[in-house]
Every structure is written in C-alpha cells, then in structure tokens.
Amino acid sequence: MRLKGRIQPKYISARVVFSLSLLGVMLLSGVGTTIGSSTRLASVNRSWNWMIANSALSQLTPAVQSNLNQAGNYVIVPPNSPPTLSFSAQKITTYKSYADFQLAIQEHAVPAGTTGILLDLERWQFTPLVEQQDPLKYYAMASVLARRYGYYLIAAPGLSLIPGDFPQKLAYISRSDFYGKLSQYAQIVEVQSQSLEFNPGNFNHLLNVAVEQAKSSNVDAEVYAGLSTNPPAGIATTSQLLNLISTTPIEIQGFWMNIPSPGPMCPNCNVQSPQVADDLFQAIGL
C-alpha cells in the first residue's frame, strides 16, 4: 500500500541549508557568536527537515511559521485535533501508547489529513506499563498497523524507558541494537536527545550510536534528533542550539524542535522559551 503523503528525501526541495554564508551572517549580526566548534563544519552545507508541534508552531513569528509550514517538514497534532486543521507541511498525529493508536484506528478517529503516526512511548503515566517494559514489541506492532492503513511510522521513544544514568542507557542501547531494531519498523527514528543538550559530548555520542545502528539495519531509515528550548537541565540559548545542530552527525536528516509547557507531560521542564526557537530558525534562514 502506498504510504500517505510520504516524500522521499531526494525529492525534498524545501529543506533548510546551513552553510558558510549563513554562519557569516550570524557572526556579523551577533547571533550565535559563541558557537565555538561549529566553525569546523561551517564550510560543509547541512540540510535538515523539521518536526514541530502545532501548539509550538503557533508561538513563533508569522514569517517563521510560514517557512516551517512547507513540504518536507512535519507539523505534529494531538489525536483530538479538529479534522479541518490542515498544513502545507505533512500532518502527523502523535500517540503516547500503541493502545491509543489501535483504538483510534478501530474507531476511525485518526484526524483527517494525517500522513504519519508519531508514537511517543515514555516512562510516564500516558504509556501503559506493559508497553514501557517492551517498547520494541509495541513499535513493531504499530508499524504493522500503520502500514496496513497507509500511514508511515515515526518512532520516538523517550530515553526514560531505559533505566540508569547515561552510561547505563548507552550500554543497553548498544547491547540491544535499540535504534537498529527501531529502524526496521519506522520510516523515521527520532532520538529524544534533548535531555542531553547541556552535555554536547553525550548528545553527539548518543546520536552517533543511533545513526550507526539505524543505518546499519536499514540504510533508508531517516534519523532525527530532539531539541528543546527549555529541557529540565535549563533554558537553552540560540547559540547553544546552533552549536548542537551544526555538529551533529552528517546522517542526521532533521530535528524535532520542542517548546514544551511545564505540566503532566513535562513536569520538570523550565518555563517555555519560544523566542529561543524563533531566533534559531531566523538565524538559519527561516
């Protein structure tokens, strides 16, 4: 079955390019003057697609909203979004459990215009314990269900599913070929790396491992990285995010920009900082 609205990377024209000329503009304008090691990659053109929740998109300036709402990017909507909501970007619906996705299919309740399903399993109250304990099983099941109904799957498991500190999480990921297996089920594997933003070494180490696993298992899989303006570790700066995106592995094809609101889904997040994201997008030419 043909997947709804799927755009293969080689055909995407509305992608964001980060190059030496843009870096020069940023430096001259005073934006990101502390980006440091990103200058090592300044001569290499980088291009990315973006995922962003509609609730976050609406907090950005109109020009940035318009530029993000383009083919090749993704706007995330909740399961209860109005059926009339439509975008030029691809519309993807997020579910926090396989059970919720399955129920939506059974009740014909997936929002109209949805092209892909983002399954966000985490160690929280919104994902059943049985799914937390064996996430790979439920991503595999979600893949079958999504394909059956013409959707592509975006697998975005939270690092909270893996107990322990970063070395313990990394050991489990390496031992289980975590992202390699996910790439067999999902067209896009999103690495929720945003919790590591304040440790760039760990941030990029995780992404390198994820890319190696995913591409070794499925060369066609797309790997995205998570960013946040206000993760639990602190409020990020524009220059900090610029440094992160410009030094990620070349195989990273896009980012999920999070502007979370403190609450049940992000109890430890800092205050929302949409201006940081807006400045970032403007700095890279959006």
What does the pLDDT look like over 105-128, one tens digit per residue? 999 999 999 999 999 999 999 999
Looking at residue 269, what is its pLDDT?
82
Looking at residue 268, what is its pLDDT?
81
Looking at residue 286, what is its pLDDT?
86
Q: Is 234 left (phi over 0), alpha (psi -120 to 50) or beta?
A: left
pLDDT beneath 50, residues of the chain:
1-2, 6-45
Q: What is the mean pLDDT of the chain?
A: 87
**Measured distance CA(192)–CA(175) in Å, rounded:** 19
pTM exceeds 0.85: yes
To which residue do tokens 């999070």 refer? 258
Please list the helix, strand and coil fractions of the chain in percent, rounded to the nearest 5, in that order. 40, 15, 40
* Closest CA relative to residue 167, chosen from 215, 204, 206, 133: 206
Looking at residue 40, what is its pLDDT?
30
Looking at residue 185, what is its pLDDT?
98
Looking at residue 266, what is its pLDDT?
84
Domain 9-283 has CATH 3.20.20: yes
Cβ 115 vs Cβ 152: under 8 Å: yes
Two tokens, residue 157: 């498991």
The DSSP 8-state label assigned to residue 259 in this structure reads -
Q: Would you kindly state where each structural domain of the chain is located, as residue ranges?
A: 9-283
The full DSSP string for 161-191 is GS-SSHHHHHHHHHHHTHHHHHHHH-SEEEE
Looking at residue 7, what is its pLDDT?
40
